[in-house]
A = this chain, B = another copy of it.
């Protein structure tokens, strides 16, 4: 039986080179967009609309459906929005059945790039095992799409890609011939005993540290806090009910 293909795309700038119009794409922006999405669904959010610009998000402001508006740029919440992209705001609030409109510096843009030619799901450490098991059931090629930082490679998304490649390869169903996938696993294996320390010099943790949100970083590096798989249907993320 031919093995499935698994590729890691390290930044959005490279996505057109990996895109094949058929693989499932897992969008990864663990600090913090895709972590927030996973935990939002865990806490009962029904729909999440990822948009690329602040302007698009603002169009939902006067809608009767009472959307939660979440917008982050450069690590900070955008003025006048309900939320930025901290995952922890969903913990203390009743969001059951609500809809969220979200725009972030990197992650939501990647969803909108990938959706043109691919089925899209959302991954983070918070749903690591769940997404690995879900992918194994699909019998499809996979592209792990790291959001990076403004087009640049980043450590935390590649680290998560490595964790996911490691789980998928263990299933023996995937061919591990992508150099970036192999590199990601090396990085994961070097880091997995202490993710927080491994990232201490990473550019984004430094960026977040200045904003005093180390507790968000700790939260986003917790494994397996939800079994929800956010999947894109049209332009809206919902929980996959397979």
Interface residues, chain A, CB within 8 Å of chain B?
10-11, 13-14, 17-18, 149-155, 158, 176-180, 182-183, 186-187, 189-191, 201-204, 206
Contact = CB atoms under 8 A, between A and B. Distances in A.
Nearest to A202: B179
A152 B176 contact: no
B201 A176 contact: yes
A10 B13 contact: no
Number of copies: 2
Contacts of A179: 149, 152-155, 202-204
A210 to B, nearest CB: 13
A93 to B, nearest CB: 33
Q: Which 8 A-B pairs have the closest CB atoms?
A: A153-B180, A155-B179, A186-B190, A154-B179, A17-B151, A179-B203, A186-B187, A179-B202
A151 B190 contact: no
Nearest to A10: B153
A177 B153 contact: no
Main secondary structure of the interface of A (DSSP, over half): helix
Given A10-B153, A14-B14, A153-B183, A177 B190 contact: no
A167 B158 CA distance: 24
25 contacts: A10-B10, A13-B14, A14-B151, A14-B153, A17-B150, A17-B152, A18-B152, A149-B179, A152-B179, A152-B180, A153-B179, A153-B180, A153-B183, A155-B179, A155-B183, A158-B183, A176-B201, A177-B206, A178-B203, A182-B202, A183-B187, A186-B186, A186-B187, A187-B187, A190-B190
A206 B175 CA distance: 14
A190 B189 CA distance: 10
Contacts of A190: 186, 189-190
A154 B158 CA distance: 14
A161 B203 CA distance: 18
Contact of A155 (B149, B182, B202): B182
Nearest to A188: B186
A189 B190 CA distance: 10
